[in-house]
Structure 1
Amino acid sequence: MLPATFLLERMMMPHQTPPPTPVYEVADLFIDYLDALGIAYVFGVPGGAIEPLYNAMARAMRQGRGPKPVVARHENGAAFMADGYARETGKIGVCIATSGPGATNLITGVACAFDNSVPLLAITGQPSLPSFGKRALQESACTGINTVGMFRHCTRYNSLLSHRDQAEGKLVNALMRATQTRGPVHLSVPVDILRMPLKQTGPSYDLSTLLYRPSLVDEAAVRELAELLRSTKRLAIVVGGGCGEAIDSILELAELFGARFVTTPDGKGFINPAHRLYYGVFGFAGHYTANAVLLDEPELVLAIGTSLGEWVSAAWCETVLNDKLIHIDESEEHLMRSPMAKLHVRGRISTVFQRLLELLKAGHLPPPPPVAPEVRPIEMLREPDKYRCNATPLKPQRLMYELTRYLPPSTRYVADAGNSTAWAIHYLQHHDRRREHHDLPPLEERRHFNGGWLRVIMDFAPMGWAIGAAIGIARGNRDCPVVCLTGDGSYLMNGQEITVAAEEQLNLIFVILNDGALGMVKHGQRLAGAEQICWQLPRVDFQLQAESLGIPGHILRSPHDFELLDWQAILRRDGPTLLDVRIDGEEVPPMNLRMKTLGTGK
C-alpha cells in the first residue's frame, strides 16, 4: 500500500497531458517522397515562403533519414549543383528557392537543365493563398510577378499548388515527367499549403514502378538497321552525349565492324581516347581526324544520342546531315532535327543496341574491313608542340597536359562555358594513364548516369555552370576527385560557391584560367575584325581571395610550378583547393566553328 504522503504529493502535482501527436504536413510528404527516391541532398537558399520544407528536412534528419540541405550562395548556383548531382548519381537533382527573386534566380539553371535533358525538380515558394493579389512581399503568382509563367518555357512539367489535396498527385506527376522525359520540372507551392496537415502519414504510391523507364524500342526500325549494317563495308559512328548507359554496346558494335568512331563534345567523356578506333571529337573545338572520318565517304553514319545542334553537328555540317545518316535516339525532339536521314531509330539507346547486337550475331555478318591505321591522341591535336611547351606564361594547351599527369584516372573534369570548354574538348586527353585502363571511369560507374570523365555543357551554355555542377558532382560522389575548369570571367560571376565546397568539405580542385579577360569575347572580336571593346577584366589574385576564405590557393605561372605542388595532400584534403593559373592570354582557343556560325569566320 502506497504511503499517504506519496498520494498527497501526487494529488498536488500539476496535471500532465501527453505530448501532442506530431502533425504530418504537406512539406513532410514532399521530403518523404525524396527520401523514397534515395535523394541524399537538396540544394537551395532558405527563405520565409519555403521555410516549411527546411523544417520538414530537419524533422526527418533527427530521425536519421531524408535528404540533407546544401545551402548555396545564390539560387542559380543551387540549380547548377542539382544539375551536377543528377549527372553523377543518375537520380533527380533537387533545388529549392523562396518566392519572387529566389524563384527567378533559379531560372537560368533550370533552363540549362532543360536544354541538356537533365532530370531536375525545382520547388519554389509563394506567399499564402489569401494574400494573393494584395501585393504581398515577393508575390510571384499570376497576380504578381508570374514566376509560374516564366518556368513554363523551360520545364517539362510546371504547376502551382492551390489546395493540399493536389500535393501528392502533382508531386508524383512532376517526378514521373522528370524521369521519363529527361528534363526539369517545377512546382510552386504557397507557404500555407506547405504547412497544412494531412490525414496520411507517408507516401501513398510506389515510385519504383511509377518512375520505371520502360525499354521501349522500334523493333521494325532496329531490324531494318541490322539489314543495312549487314551490307555495309564502310561504317562511321558519332557518339553523342546521350550514350552514357549504352557505351559498352556501342563500342562492341564498332569493334564488330571495325568502324571508326568519333564523339560529339559532350560525348568525349564516355570513351577512352586511346581506343584504336577513336578518331577524336566532331563539332565545336574538335579534331581534324574526326572530320576526315566523315569526309572519307562512309556508306552509313550512325549518329547516336545527339541533338544535332550547332556545337555537336559542326554547325549543321552536311558531312553528317545527309541521306547516309542513321539517327538513333529516344528523344523525339532530337529526331525532328534530321529529316534528311535514311532512317530514324526511336527507343532507349541501351535497349536499341542490345537488340541490334542480338540480331547481328544471330545472322550472317560480313568480314570486318581492314583495320584502319590507329591515331594516337596527341596526333589529333591542332598544335601538339604547345601541348608540352615549357614556355612562360603557361600555355593553356600545356595546362591540360599537366592536369592529367598528376591526377588519377578516376577524376571527373567539368569545363565551364567559354575558352575553358574549348581547351578541354580539344586538349584534355587523360593520355598515358588511359593506356593502362581500357575504359575509364570503371564500367559499373558509367551505366547509370549521364556523366563521363569529362562533362561540358552544350546548347544553353551559361558561364559559371561548371562551378556549381562540380559541387553537385562532388556532393553526389565523394570517392572521385573533381576538377572544375573555369575562366576568371566565370569565376567572378559564380566563384562565391567555393565556400559551399569548403563548408561541405568536398575534395574539389578549382582551376582558374586567369588571363585578365573574357577570353572568348576577346579572341572572337579579333578573329572577326570587330571593335576591341569590353573584354578586359582586372587581374585578380584569386590565391589571396581563396586564402581569405580559409581555402588553400596557389598561383601557377609555368609548367615547373606544377612539380612544386603536393598533389597527394591536395587529393587527400577534406575541402577544396584553388589553382590560379596565369595562362598565356594570346593563345587562341579552337573556336573557328563558333566564328563561322556567327558569320564572321572562315
Structure 2
Amino acid sequence: MKSAAVVSLAPPPTTVGAAELIISYLEAIGVDYIFGVPGGAIEPLYNAMAVSARRQGLRPIVARHEAGAAFMADGYARETGKIGVCCATSGPGATNLITGVACAYDNGVPMLVITGQPSLPVFGKGALQESACTGVNTVGMFSHCTRYNTLVSHAEQLETKLVQALMRASQAPHGPVHLSIPLDLLKGTVEQRLSPRELHNLMRKPSLVDEDMVHSLFMSLQDAQQVALIIGGDCGEAIESIIHFAEMTNSCFVTTPDAKGLINPHHRLYRGVFGFAGHTSANETLNDNVGLILAIGTSLGEWTSGAWSNSVLNHKLVHIDATDEHLRHSPMARQHVRGRIRTVFERLLDLMHIEQEALGMPWAPAIGGISMKSAVTLREPEKLQSDARPIKPQRLMVELSKRFPPTTRFLADAGNATAWAIHYLESRNNRRLGLVPPAGETQTNQVWSGERRHDHAGWLRVLMDFAPMGWAIGAAVGVARGKPDCPVVCITGDGSYLMNGQEITVAAQEGLAVIFVILNDSALGMVKHGQRLAGAERIAFELPTVNYALMAEAMGIPGHVIEGPEDFDKLDMNAILTRSGPTLLDIRIDGEEVPPMSLRMQTLEGSA
C-alpha cells in the first residue's frame, strides 16, 4: 500500500523587494499611475516605479504639491473606477496630503495613501522629518480621515496590511486608506504569498442586498399613487437601472448636486437639482402629492437634503443605500433598504417584469406618475442670453454648455463655481441646442460628432460635505490622465487658482487637454456675497487684479482673456480641444451677480 503524497495547497512564497511588492500588486489591480512628490523616505517606491515604467507598467505623476497629488488621485479614481493612489515622503510631505485625503474620505472616494518614515532604528532620536509616534504623529493625524490606517512596523506585516488596505478602500463605505512605511522596510525584502488572481478575488465587490426589504419596497410601490426619486452621487454604476425603473413607473426624478452629472438633463422625467444651488421645480416635484420619495445613494447631508428639509425627511421617505453610515441620517424614514444599489434595482426590475408579464399590461397601473407641469425652473432665466460685459456667470454657463462636446468632463471647484455649475450648466445636446458643425468642418470631426459616453463616470463632478478650494484643479488632471481621449473642463475661481494653480503645469508636462476656466472677479466670491446677504462686515474678500492668461503663457500654455460672450467666437475650439496640453480661459465675470447660494445662507443663519 502506497503512502499518501503530501499535496501543497499553495506555491511556496517568493522573496521580493518590499517596494516591488507594492508596485506589482497595484499593477495587478489595474492601477496605471501614482500621484505624488518624491522624497528621501519614499525613494525606494520611486525606484520600483522606474522599473515598472520601463516594462510599460505604472509610472509616477509628479504633482507640484502633495495636496494636488491627492486631488489628482481623487479625480483619477472617480473617472476610472479604480483605486486612486498617492504618495509622499515623511513629515511635511505626509501632512500636506491630509486636506486631499480628508476630501476623499468625506466624499467616499477609494484611495490608497502611502507615506514614508525614517528608518525604524532612528525612531525617537530626532531624525529629520520623523513622523512616527515619537515625532509629529502623522499616523495619528490620518486616523481621523481614513477607513484603514496603520504603520508597517515589521516586514512580515507588509503584504497582509497592503491587502487589507486595498480591500477596505474598494468596499463600501469607500474612502482612503493609509500605509506609513519606514525607509528600511521599504528598502528590504518580503515574502509574496498571494497571486494576482487571489488578490482580485479578495477585492471583488459583493452584491449583498436585503432581499426582504427589497420585496417590502416592491409591495409598497404597488400601493403608491405617485413616486419621486432623488438620485444621489453614489448611483453611478446603477444609473441605467434607476432610469429604467423611473421610466417603467413614470416617476419624475431629481438629483442631488453631486449626481447631476450622472443623468441626461434633457430627460423628460428630470425635474432639476434638489439641494444646494438647486431648482424650485425639484422642490415642487417632491411636494406634488407624492406618496413615496425614494432617496437613492445619498448621505442626506446639508447640501443633499435641502438643509435637512421636511419635504424629504418625513414618513414618505424610503432611503436606499449601501452603507449604514448614510442610512443613519434618516431615522424618520418609513423604510431603509440596505444593499449594493445596482443589485437592489436589478431585483426590483426583475420583480416588476415578472408582474408585467403575468398581467399582460404595463406594470403597476396604480402609479399614475407625477404631474408633467414642471420642467426644470431656472433662476433669472433672462440673464442666460445677456450680452453684457463683463460676462454674466449665467451666460458663461450657457456658453460652456454649448461649446464643448457631450463627452466633456466638467469639474466645478468649491465656491461660486460650484453654485453656478449646479444650477445652470448642462451637457450638450446637439439637437436641442441647434448646433451644427462650423463652416468647412464635417460631421466626423471629433469635436462635433455628437458622440455620447457609454460609462457612468458622470459629465459633471462637484464636491459635497468636505469641499476644499482648489480640488477641481488637481482632480481635473487626474480625470484627464484616466481618460485622455475626452476633453476635461475645470471651472474654478481666482481664489482657488491662486492657491493651487501651479498644478496646471502637470497637465502641460503630461500633454493633457484640460481647459482651465477661471472665474475672475478679483474676490473670494462666496465670502463677498455671503457677507452681503448676511448683513455682515464686508472684509477680507478682496484679491489682486491678475491677468491669468499671461501667467499661463509664461508657463508655455495658451491663455485667452474672455470679457464678453462674443469673445468665445474668436476662439479656435477645435484647436483647443485637440491640442496635446492645457488651455487657460481667463473669464472676466460680473462680480455683482449673486450665485444661487440661499440654502447655504439659511444654514449659516440658523446656526448663528
1:147-184 deviation line (CA, Å, top 9, x unaligned): 00000011000000111111100000000000013110
TM-score by length of 2: 0.92
Secondary structure of 2:584's counterpart equals strand
C-alpha separation between the residues in 2 aligned to 1:124 and 1:147?
Answer: 9
Q: How does 1:169-318 map to 2 (within 5 A)?
A: 169-181=160-172, 182-200=174-192, 206-318=198-310
| 1:370 to 1:140, Cα distance in 2 relative to 1, 3 A | closer
More displaced stretch, 490-499 vs 205-214? 205-214
Secondary structure of 1:468's counterpart equals helix
1:117-161 deviation line (CA, Å, top 9, x unaligned): 100000000000000000000000000000000000110000001
Match of 1:419 in 2: 416
Secondary structure of 1:421's counterpart equals helix
| 1:266 to 1:204, Cα distance in 2 relative to 1, 3 A | closer
C-alpha separation between the residues in 2 aligned to 1:504 and 1:568?
Answer: 20
Match of 1:330 in 2: 322
C-alpha separation between the residues in 1 aligned to 2:302 and 2:514?
Answer: 31
Asked if the contact 2:38/2:46 (under 8 Å) is kept, the reply is: yes
C-alpha separation between the residues in 2 aligned to 1:566 and 1:203?
Answer: 50
Q: CA deviation at 1:441?
A: 8.3
Asked if the contact 2:52/2:59 (under 8 Å) is kept, the reply is: no
C-alpha separation between the residues in 1 aligned to 2:433 and 2:204?
Answer: 37
1:381-408 deviation line (CA, Å, top 9, x unaligned): 1011111111111000000000122110
What is the letter of the counterpart of residue 421 of structure 1?
Answer: T
Match of 1:509 in 2: 515
Q: CA deviation at 1:197?
A: 2.0
Query: Could you tell me which of 534, 537, 548 is aligned with 1:542?
Result: 548
Match of 2:96 in 1: 105
Asked if the contact 1:528/1:601 (under 8 Å) is kept, the reply is: no
C-alpha separation between the residues in 1 aligned to 2:192 and 2:43?
Answer: 21
Q: CA deviation at 1:374?
A: 6.0
| 1:122 to 1:64, Cα distance in 2 relative to 1, 3 A | same
Match of 1:373 in 2: 372
C-alpha separation between the residues in 2 aligned to 1:27 and 1:433?
Answer: 49
Asked if the contact 2:214/2:344 (under 8 Å) is kept, the reply is: yes
Q: CA deviation at 1:257?
A: 1.4
| 1:373 to 1:103, Cα distance in 2 relative to 1, 3 A | same
Match of 1:154 in 2: 145
C-alpha separation between the residues in 1 aligned to 2:213 and 2:524?
Answer: 47
Matched, 1:129 2:120: yes
| 1:592 to 1:434, Cα distance in 2 relative to 1, 3 A | farther
Asked if the contact 1:527/1:601 (under 8 Å) is kept, the reply is: no
Asked if the contact 1:78/1:95 (under 8 Å) is kept, the reply is: yes
C-alpha separation between the residues in 2 aligned to 1:442 and 1:592?
Answer: 34
C-alpha separation between the residues in 2 aligned to 1:64 and 1:285?
Answer: 44
Matched, 1:72 2:70: no
Asked if the contact 1:85/1:476 (under 8 Å) is kept, the reply is: yes
Secondary structure of 1:192's counterpart equals helix
C-alpha separation between the residues in 2 aligned to 1:403 and 1:575?
Answer: 19
Secondary structure of 1:315's counterpart equals coil
Matched, 1:40 2:32: yes
Match of 1:579 in 2: 585
C-alpha separation between the residues in 2 aligned to 1:376 and 1:338?
Answer: 28
Asked if the contact 2:290/2:370 (under 8 Å) is kept, the reply is: no
More displaced stretch, 364-373 vs 456-465? 364-373
Q: CA deviation at 1:562?
A: 0.2
Match of 1:7 in 2: none
The structure with the largest alpha-carbon Rg is 1
Matched, 1:553 2:544: no
Match of 1:4 in 2: none
1:550-596 deviation line (CA, Å, top 9, x unaligned): 00000000000000000000001000000000000000000000000
C-alpha separation between the residues in 1 aligned to 2:52 and 2:392?
Answer: 50
Q: CA deviation at 1:208?
A: 1.4
| 1:207 to 1:237, Cα distance in 2 relative to 1, 3 A | same
Gaps of 5+ in 2: 1-13, 435-449
1:35-56 deviation line (CA, Å, top 9, x unaligned): 1011001000000000000001
Asked if the contact 1:410/1:441 (under 8 Å) is kept, the reply is: yes
Secondary structure of 1:599's counterpart equals helix
Q: CA deviation at 1:373?
A: 2.4
Q: CA deviation at 1:200?
A: 4.6
Matched, 1:166 2:167: no
Asked if the contact 2:406/2:428 (under 8 Å) is kept, the reply is: no
| 1:370 to 1:63, Cα distance in 2 relative to 1, 3 A | closer
1:470-494 deviation line (CA, Å, top 9, x unaligned): 0000000011100000000000000
Matched, 1:430 2:427: yes
What is the letter of the counterpart of residue 193 of structure 1?
Answer: L
Q: How does 1:382-401 map to 2 (within 5 A)?
A: 382-401=379-398
Match of 1:10 in 2: none
More displaced stretch, 194-203 vs 537-546? 194-203
Asked if the contact 2:495/2:523 (under 8 Å) is kept, the reply is: yes
RMSD, aligned CA: 1.9
Q: How does 1:441-520 map to 2 (within 5 A)?
A: 442=452, 444-446=454-456, 451-520=457-526
1:262-292 deviation line (CA, Å, top 9, x unaligned): 0000010011111111000000000000000
Q: CA deviation at 1:331?
A: 1.2
Asked if the contact 1:593/1:601 (under 8 Å) is kept, the reply is: no
Match of 2:5 in 1: none
| 1:148 to 1:109, Cα distance in 2 relative to 1, 3 A | same
Q: What stretches of structure 1 move > 6 A for 4+ residues in a row?
A: none
Q: CA deviation at 1:423?
A: 0.0
C-alpha separation between the residues in 2 aligned to 1:343 and 1:334?
Answer: 13
| 1:494 to 1:115, Cα distance in 2 relative to 1, 3 A | same
C-alpha separation between the residues in 1 aligned to 2:193 and 2:53?
Answer: 17
What is the letter of the counterpart of residue 465 of structure 2?
Answer: D
C-alpha separation between the residues in 2 aligned to 1:200 and 1:247?
Answer: 39
1:516-560 deviation line (CA, Å, top 9, x unaligned): 000000000000000000000001110110000000000000000
| 1:601 to 1:140, Cα distance in 2 relative to 1, 3 A | closer
Gaps of 5+ in 1: 1-21
Query: Could you tell me which of 84, 87, 90 is aligned with 2:78?
Result: 87
